[in-house]
Amino acid sequence: MSDEVKKPESAVGQPCAECNRRRFAKVGLGAIAVAGAGSAVFGYEFLSPNVLYEPSPIVDAGKPDLYPADSVTPDPQNGIYIVHGAQGIYTLSAVCTHLGCLTAWKPELGIIACPCHGSKFHIDGVRFDGPAPRPLPWLKTWVDDDGNLLVDRSEPLEKKQFVRI
């Protein structure tokens, strides 16, 4: 006979039943929390409106005296030309009416040319060469109360209009 104290058979190597329940409850609650958080995120995405925010079509071109007489000022970032001609200031769209490429001002030739398929335009927007079906549109241009030149790129004009300064 030895002096060794023997544990009861059922307790040897067996985790207690209470510990099993607690561990199961923790894992279960963790899984429910993860699933709930995922559902909340997807629910928010689903319910939030699908809206695209575009930049304003109105361009603030600054003071009119930035544009000296007989000048063409390209603004490729906004896709416009500000032209100060003999009758005043006007704005042309720089987007080619053929397939929408951005045209370029060629000061050495005094014309606007499209690099894509070779359309060419006079500085009043009239096409004289290439496949473009229409002239470059004139855009609504005006001076606001603070004396700044504003251009509305979303409003092509039917008739030529000049800002006289």
| Distance in angstroms (rounded) separating the CA atoms of residues 124 and 59 | 20
Among 79, 85, 88, 131, binds ligand FES (CB under 6 A): 131
Q: What is the length of the chain?
A: 165
Q: According to the binding rule CB under 6 A, does residue 99 interact with ligand FES? A: yes
3-state secondary structure of 140: strand
Q: Which of residues 21-80 bind ligand FES (CB under 6 A)?
A: none
Q: Which is nearer to ligand FES, 103 or 141 (by Cβ)?
A: 103
| Distance in angstroms (rounded) separating the CA atoms of residues 128 and 58 | 29
Q: Which residue matches tokens 């496949």?
A: 131
| Distance in angstroms (rounded) separating the CA atoms of residues 37 and 59 | 43
Q: Which is nearer to ligand FES, 72 or 149 (by Cβ)?
A: 72
Please choose, out of 6-14, 37-45, 66-74, 91-99, the segment that lies near ligand FES by the rule CB under 6 A: 91-99
Minimum gap (Å) between residue 127 Cβ and ligand FES: 9
| Distance in angstroms (rounded) separating the CA atoms of residues 138 and 151 | 10
Q: Which residues contribute to the site for ligand FES (CB under 6 A)?
A: 96, 98-99, 101, 114, 116-119, 130-132
